[in-house]
Amino acid sequence: MDRILVLVRHGQSEWNMKNLFTGWKDPGLTEKGVEEARTAGRSLKAHGLEFRRGFASNLIRAQDTLKLILAETGAPNVQTEHTIALNERDYGDLCGLNKDDAREKWGEKQVQLWRRSYDVSPPGGESLKDTVARVLPYYIQTILPAVLRGECTIVSAHGNSLRALIMVLDGLNSETIPTVELKTGLPMVYRLRPDSTVETKDILAP
């Protein structure tokens, strides 16, 4: 029995393009983001993956990415679930700010600390540690059981909510996970063992 879990960061959003802190704000995909999602779907179909479960955050960029991928794989009616647990990290007072402007206001070192530390949160927002604390219980209780039942599963989410999953799957720690960079629209295909550890991991290039 195959136990397959695919993780994909949403395609480029309007605020990614503008270099803005996005967090829980809800901009849509750009034309490039739409094409990234479609390309991901075609790649997954070419690898013979037939999804039975889909999960996305409550944010439209992740939901639209999931819809586009499933349409390209020929399975638009797959059972899907949307949840706040998979939302991007909440950047608090930084949301909507241009990243370069934030560096000018608070300094490069402080902004880098907020963006890439594990347990330091920006004003009014979440740290990566906080994000891990809400993502992992949902993964353990809802997503992982589906995968272990042999239901080919895809998760469309965000850079930081996916880092929480990758931290567990790849055996990373609080020092190594903040340095992991995830490209938009690039699927990561995990095959799990019966004990939920990773047997193989493949990143599908366009």
**For the chain, which domains are there?**
4-203 (3.40.50.1240)
Judge contact between 143 and 192, C-beta under 8 A: no
Helices 128-138, 159-169: inter-axial angle, 10-degree rounding: 70
Closest among 189, 185, 196, 186 to 146, alpha carbons compared: 196
- In the set 36, 72, 88, 151, the catalytic residue is 88
pLDDT tens for each residue of 138-155: 999 999 999 999 999 999
Instruction: Please say if 88 is a catalytic residue.
Output: yes
Mean pLDDT throughout 25-50? 96
For the chain, give the mean pLDDT. 95
Q: Given pLDDT bands bounded at 50, 70 and 90, which one contains residue 206?
A: confident
Residue 205 has pLDDT above 90, yes or no: no
Which of 192, 185, 193 shows the shortest CA–CA distance to 162?
185
CA 14 to chain centre: 17
- Of 135 and 178, the one with more pLDDT: 135
First CA to last CA distance, the chain: 27
Is 10 part of the annotated catalytic residue set?
yes
Model pTM score: 0.95
For residue 1, pLDDT beyond 90: no
The catalytic residue among 10, 36, 82, 151 is: 10
d(CA 82, CA 162): 15
Contact 5/54 with Cβ under 8 angstroms?
A: no
